[in-house]
Amino acid sequence: MFKVDLRRLIVLLAFSSSLATLIYTLVGTYNAERDLLIENTLESNRAYAAKLATSTDQFLDNLQQQLAYSAQLLGTHIHDKTLRDNEAKRLQQQNNSFNSVIIVNSNGAVLTTSPPDLGLTGKILDSVGASQALSLRKPLISPPYVGLTGRLIIFMSYPIIDPSDQYLGYVGGSIYLHQDNSLNMLLGDHFYRDGSQIYVVDHSRRLIYHQDSMRVGEIIANNPAIEEVIKGNSGETELVNSKQTSMLAGYAATRKVGWGIVVQRPTEVVLYELDALLKKVARNTIPFYLLTSLLIWWLGSRIAQPLRQLARSAPNLDSPHSAQQITKVSAWYFEAAQIKRALLIGLQRLSKKIGRMDLERNTDPLTGLLNRRGMDGALQEWQQDSKNFAVLTCDIDHFKRVNDTYGHDVGDLVLQFLADMMRQHTRTGDLICRVGGEEFFIFLPEQSQQEAFQVAERLRQAVEQSESPSGSHITISIGLSHWPSYSDNLAVVLKAADQALYKAKHNGRNCTMHASTEH
């Protein structure tokens, strides 16, 4: 009967164990990074959609202010044709916000248009926007509607009131959603790489902006992101679009007109980046695996040799040379220990690689501080050890102004500058985290609220007195709470620190506020 020799069994077992470890490492890494990439992409898209929603609200507010200024001027000069013509031309041409501008009297007759060749002067308009403006007699942003030319239009107007509060008519501007204007530029200022998309819908699920202008006016059904955003919700979701492409979508609603903005990126593109990362890990790991396999084959041969010697010595125990042979076999245990040590070294190297990947997942790449994932893990350990700690939540005052004035590159340098200041004014065992944007947390173990307040004030004053990378001084606002003195519920403590931060912002910024004792 054929029996497999021990050397082959050892080599087979060692190879299969190493291969299983390699596969487990690669698959585990892939799954962990896949979840992280999808989570980060969804959050990034949600944040970008929220930013666009805010920018759109600000843009519409600005247009209404422009119309309000013109309406105030026309309130005392509506019969001055030259002034009317100049004002309509200015509104239509100064920043490409309106595709056309009209000035209408209280009877609904058009007095002036820009461009002047619209052929509407003297006529009474019965379009949706014009009728609403005339009947409501108050500032208006109409819902999108199809005009006489078949174009999808948004009409904005502002009433003209004379000094005696008599209604004289209105000044209005039309935004053609199929044509170039400032609104399309605002929403279209995006690099449409790798299939990423931005689109805007109104309450009726009608597309009022899309990178493909031919789709403007199209009604979109069975889209979970659109269903949520028209309810006024913001968030993120995975969905399959009308072309049956899997997308990672973030969405947000505008405050002023209730439009929904959706930012989405193909899931396949996101995972393509992960595949590239996995190939890189494989390139670094497989050579080590092959080297380890070669070492295992050699060690397997070495293991089999003394065992064969022992087997040959067994029938000859009465031989005068048996003691010498057994002595030689005793070295077998030393070699086995060395093999075990070699395997442990191999596993240790793989563990270090996984550890480095885990560190990257828990660290903010810009500042080198812990991110929210790392923060949650550390706080969980502290709670398990019943370690009390003070909580400081910090936020840069007017940070948006830094980005708008100096650019996001300088804004990143300011964030790194603040992170360094936090390191300088905390102890080695303190925990510093960046949880998003310009918001930071500092956790001070075994410190009272009064001691933490002193730390916060020293940090705040040091930041205020130091010149930031922007070339000017910045300030920070700080909220303070304590676990478990404030509450034994960590979520309540963190929320209290946030509320204290908001209170500091409300009280003029550049100060430190304690959490309210009423909870």
Q: Which residues are catalytic?
A: 438
The secondary structure of residue 516, as a DSSP letter, is: P
User: Quick one: which H or E segment has residue 9?
Assistant: helix 6-74
- Residue 33: name the closest of 380, 279, 197, 266 by CA: 279
Looking only at the bridges linking them, the beta strands covering 476-483 and 512-514 are parallel
**Contact present, 165 and 76 (Cβ < 8 Å):** no
The two tokens of residue 2 are 């054929």
Length of the chain measured in residues = 519
Query: How far apart are the C-alpha atoms of 341 and 210, rounded to whole Å?
Result: 62
Q: Helices marked H in 94-163 — which ranges?
A: 128-136
**Contact present, 378 and 431 (Cβ < 8 Å):** yes
Alpha carbon separation from 71 to 76, 82, 86, 88, 256 (Å, rounded): 9, 15, 13, 11, 21
The two tokens of residue 270 are 């996101």
The two tokens of residue 365 are 């790449």
Q: Is 485 helix (H, G, I), strand (E, B) or coil?
A: coil
User: In degrees, to the nearest 5, what angle opens at C-alpha 401 toward C-alphas 395 and 404?
Assistant: 130
Residue with tokens 């393509």: 272
User: In degrees, to the nearest 5, what angle opens at C-alpha 467 toward C-alphas 462 and 471?
Assistant: 160
Query: Which residues are CB-neighbours of 399 under 8 A, at least 6 positions away?
Result: 411, 414, 437, 438, 474
- Residue 439: name the closest of 380, 375, 498, 495 by CA: 498
**Contact present, 389 and 483 (Cβ < 8 Å):** yes
Alpha carbon separation from 165 to 103, 168, 246, 272 (Å, rounded): 18, 9, 56, 64
Query: Which residues are CB-neighbours of 30 under 8 A, at least 6 positions away?
Result: 274, 278
**Contact present, 157 and 140 (Cβ < 8 Å):** yes
**Contact present, 453 and 505 (Cβ < 8 Å):** no
Question: Dmax over Cα atoms in the chain, in whole Å?
Answer: 131
Q: Is 203 helix (H, G, I), strand (E, B) or coil?
A: coil
**Contact present, 226 and 247 (Cβ < 8 Å):** no
